[in-house]
A and B are shown apart, each in its own frame.
Chain A
């Protein structure tokens, strides 16, 4: 089991909710060998199946926690997720819900890293707002640097406090 998987979550039709999808697109465009890309737009429970066969998983999603737009959050699912990932949203289950459900069911991947990007506008029919495009680029760059390392070296020196 050596698969690396990058999963962008969100909805391009709802403004900054597309942040995670935009990061995944950037990673896809880099054509990294051995790295699968997936985009999920709705049913986050689909994550449970999506990462079933992957060893090293990165999930990127938009966050609505009240922090300044463009704030980037990070978590390592080896620990319980911070509350800000239980953001309210248009999906039945938040990313935090699905991670904790997977933890209870013993179906978390061996390594699961998450990035959240604080959005500011989630109205239907709007595009990514300018305040967060920088954050999308920054997260994509950080991920690309990490994904270019051998998998056993990834994640070292990353913040572990969830923020």
Chain B
């Protein structure tokens, strides 16, 4: 007898935006796992066509309320690449500093309010707050520290207004940054405590080898620049992205899927970044990672919470170092004149690699734009994992299976707003 069933998770809670997850089984085996994403067809890319080359940092920042800096930085990198401009070291460092703020706020939010409740048996961060208010307050204070950093450098934390092609409208004063030091020192310690806390969680026994993709920088843990590398040896400049990564449409989702070199499913984000760049961590943070039991390569999506905590610690540490060594860029931005050219930019958003490409005309008009967010790139890997993960758990009740699949999806911290702009999530079994 053929016995089929269908588990549908409509409205994954605690995933940014809305999304749907569907798992289809036949004869006790998972035949399909789909993350349904409904994406208004490339609205922002279409909106950018015909606009001026100076506008993408402001326009694309509005794609996501959680990681606007990532969009601004990838946009700036691509446009400066097209126009043949290299910004000063001071501008680069200030960009890295504000990006640290975004990592801090995004990772703190995910760890404390979205992901930790899963491990501790709470339905949500609100329920966690009921029993452990001090823990949640620590998470919120960490998040606020990141927001403050973004506000001081970027003018405001949501959709910062101080960022422009070439650099910044105005460089923050040394004193304004120094005022953040005490709170960042607190945050650094709190982040270290966070690593220890999350490392004690009970992690589901699940993991496998991934094809990881991340940036790699000659000396630093990658945030704002680097070459694109992968577990299997890819090592390319951002300008070669389109030669290796292909986006394509799938019937169940209007968000595009992405593959590497023809058919390889790959993963970007903290697990990929850390696994490909653990040797770029400062020795003291590497020691904390080792103490937390984190191997050099992270094979389990559930352990990503520990990796995020390590990156949170790194971002606090790096922000402090950047503030101590801060020299206001003068001028605060490089002069960027338009050129008839195409430019490519890649940075590491909290959730992974974010690629921008702009074709600009000599008069500064944007002829074509392409934006590939990390969640879009990770969709295939998420679906593949769900297929494998659910296959070993079909004996569970609908409720439990749904819960565990939701937890699995949340491990990737998918920002559905970025990938899809609007997602609806439900769970159902037939």
B47-A125 in contact (CB<8A): yes
Contacts of A92 in B (CB 8 A): 14, 16, 66, 109, 113-114
- A89 and B44 CA atoms in complex are apart in Å by 19
B65-A122 in contact (CB<8A): no
Interface of chain A, helix or strand or loop or mixed? Answer: loop
Q: Which A35-49 residues have C-beta < 8 A from chain B? A: 40-43, 45-46, 48-49
B109-A124 in contact (CB<8A): no
A41-B133 in contact (CB<8A): no
Q: Does B356 contact A (CB under 8 A)?
A: no
- A93 and B143 CA atoms in complex are apart in Å by 14
Report the minimal beta-carbon distance from A53 to chain B, rounded to whole angstroms.
Answer: 14
Q: Which A91-121 residues have C-beta < 8 A from chain B? A: 91-93, 97, 100-101, 104-106
- A91 and B15 CA atoms in complex are apart in Å by 9
Interface of chain B, helix or strand or loop or mixed? Answer: helix
- A13 and B417 CA atoms in complex are apart in Å by 13
Name the contact of B424 in the complex, choosing from A49, A88, A106 (C-beta under 8 A). Answer: A88
Contacts of B113 in A (CB 8 A): 45, 92-93
B133-A90 in contact (CB<8A): no
Q: A101-B126, A104-B133 are in contact. Are A42 and B65 (CB under 8 A)?
A: yes
Name the contact of A42 in the complex, choosing from B66, B125, B422 (C-beta under 8 A). Answer: B66
Q: Does A123 contact B (CB under 8 A)?
A: yes
Q: Does B273 contact A (CB under 8 A)?
A: no
Q: Name B416's closest neighbour in chain A (CB-CB).
A: A90
B158-A46 in contact (CB<8A): yes
Q: A45-B109, A105-B137, A124-B43 are in contact. Are A90 and B422 (CB under 8 A)?
A: yes
A123-B129 in contact (CB<8A): no
Mask: chain A, 109-149; 1 = CB below 8 Å from B; 0 = not: 00000000000001111000000000000000000000000
Q: Name A86's closest neighbour in chain B (CB-CB).
A: B13
- A13 and B143 CA atoms in complex are apart in Å by 25
- A104 and B133 CA atoms in complex are apart in Å by 7
- A97 and B17 CA atoms in complex are apart in Å by 14
Name the contact of B422 in the complex, choosing from A45, A49, A122 (C-beta under 8 A). Answer: A122
Contacts of A123 in B (CB 8 A): 40
A90-B421 in contact (CB<8A): yes
Contacts of B157 in A (CB 8 A): 43, 46
Contacts of A122 in B (CB 8 A): 422
A88-B129 in contact (CB<8A): no
A45-B417 in contact (CB<8A): no
- A123 and B136 CA atoms in complex are apart in Å by 33
Contacts of B3 in A (CB 8 A): none
Q: A104-B130, A123-B40, A125-B43 are in contact. Are A13 and B62 (CB under 8 A)?
A: yes
Contacts of A125 in B (CB 8 A): 43, 47
Contacts of A100 in B (CB 8 A): 126
Report the minimal beta-carbon distance from B111 to chain A, rounded to whole angstroms.
Answer: 13
Q: Does B297 contact A (CB under 8 A)?
A: no
Q: Does B277 contact A (CB under 8 A)?
A: no
- A104 and B137 CA atoms in complex are apart in Å by 11
Q: Does B236 contact A (CB under 8 A)?
A: no
A90-B126 in contact (CB<8A): no
Contacts of A101 in B (CB 8 A): 125-126, 129, 136
B137-A88 in contact (CB<8A): no
A43-B158 in contact (CB<8A): yes
Report the minimal beta-carbon distance from A88 to chain B, rounded to whole angstroms.
Answer: 5
Contacts of B114 in A (CB 8 A): 92
- A106 and B140 CA atoms in complex are apart in Å by 14
B126-A41 in contact (CB<8A): no
B47-A105 in contact (CB<8A): no
Contacts of A97 in B (CB 8 A): 124, 126
Residue with the highest number of chain A CB atoms closer than 10 Å, among B40, B65, B124: B65
Contacts of A13 in B (CB 8 A): 62
8 contacts between A and B (CB under 8 A): A43-B147, A92-B16, A92-B114, A104-B129, A104-B130, A106-B133, A124-B421, A125-B43
Given A41-B159, A93-B113; 9 other pairs, CB 8 A cutoff: A40-B158, A43-B65, A43-B66, A91-B16, A97-B126, A104-B129, A105-B129, A105-B140, A123-B40
Which residues of A come within 8 Å of B, CB atoms?
Answer: 11, 13, 40-43, 45-46, 48-49, 88-93, 97, 100-101, 104-106, 122-125
Which 10 residue pairs across A and B have the least CB separation, nearest first? A42-B65, A104-B129, A42-B158, A124-B43, A104-B130, A101-B126, A100-B126, A92-B16, A88-B18, A43-B65
